Structure 1
């Protein structure tokens, strides 16, 4: 089950940070390359939490058997022409829960929450080269563009940033 979180206290913020570090260090494509620590990830988390505090979107937290298992941010636009869609950011499932359908449950739960808000589309980008395209396509997303070589994971290892949309 994915719950919309409106109050992000210290305990939840600490868990988000810990999860993000664990996912990054397990090789997850969530904005960092391993190895990372809390001090590396904290500025990015603080930025997303500030967006939420400003009313730009919501945080969805996946629970499996009552335990937090993953999360994702859904951030909308304040511009009138773009208010019907939002961007999924930092979608991640803790490594202990991966491989059991948790990612699909999280993404579908975020889509349900977005639909309940009246949104019509979700947008996301991912780092090519990890097989993520097949996963997102199986969740109803369609590739709509690429930015070739825009992500440098190492010297001589540039990856495409792939843009996908899902109609709700």
Structure 2
């Protein structure tokens, strides 16, 4: 992880967030708002608890990410979390998201003993349809658990992909 690539990921995360993407922030945000969260993800990678998959454009720039976090709870090591699934708005709608999700599934399948993938999403954005089309099933929903703005409460939706 070079400083330049880290900055590229920060810019991507900021662009996605400011375009309305539901990746842990609500607009407006700056790279400095996002930096602590990315550092936390990178620390997990350094500790061997997470893997990063990156989608690159034709010029080799990062246009998408997904982090696979291994579950450390002794009763739940048979599944992984997907975090920070994002795709730059300039490349959405062309199949890159499905390719990124397929790569995440393949990466999870390569991990010993992993039988499923779990992710959560912010309701009200249509993301359930996208993940559903990638094979995920909605397995839980907490109404109003995410505050996306003043008076804007969204459901916290849990989705699951069985790797059997």
- Residue deviations 1:74-118 (CA, integer Å, cap 9, x gap): 001223321111000010011221111111111110110110113
| Partner in structure 2 of residue 105 of structure 1 | 99
In the alignment, is residue 155 of structure 1 matched against residue 143 of structure 2?
A: no
Question: Counterparts of 2:152 and 2:19 in 1: how far apart (Å)?
Answer: 19
| Partner in structure 1 of residue 110 of structure 2 | 116
Secondary structure, aligned partner of 2:124 = coil
| Partner in structure 2 of residue 74 of structure 1 | 68
1:38 is aligned, of 31, 37, 46, to 31
Which is further off, 150-159 or 41-50? 150-159
Shift of 1:66: 5.3
| Partner in structure 2 of residue 3 of structure 1 | none
Which is further off, 113-122 or 158-167? 113-122
In the alignment, is residue 50 of structure 1 matched against residue 55 of structure 2?
A: no
Which is further off, 8-17 or 157-166? 8-17
Asked if structure 1 preserves the Cα contact closer than 8 Å seen for 2:26 and 2:149, the reply is: no
Question: Counterparts of 1:63 and 1:74 in 2: how far apart (Å)?
Answer: 17
Structure 2 spans left out of the alignment, 5+ residues:
none
Describe how 1:74-93 pairs up with structure 2 within 5 A. 74-93=68-87
Residues matched between the structures, number:
161
TM-score normalized by the length of structure 2: 0.94
Question: Counterparts of 1:120 and 1:99 in 2: how far apart (Å)?
Answer: 29
Question: Counterparts of 2:152 and 2:14 in 1: how far apart (Å)?
Answer: 22
TM-score normalized by the length of structure 1: 0.91
2:134 is aligned, of 120, 135, 139, to 139
| Partner in structure 2 of residue 14 of structure 1 | 7
CA RMSD of aligned residues (A): 1.1
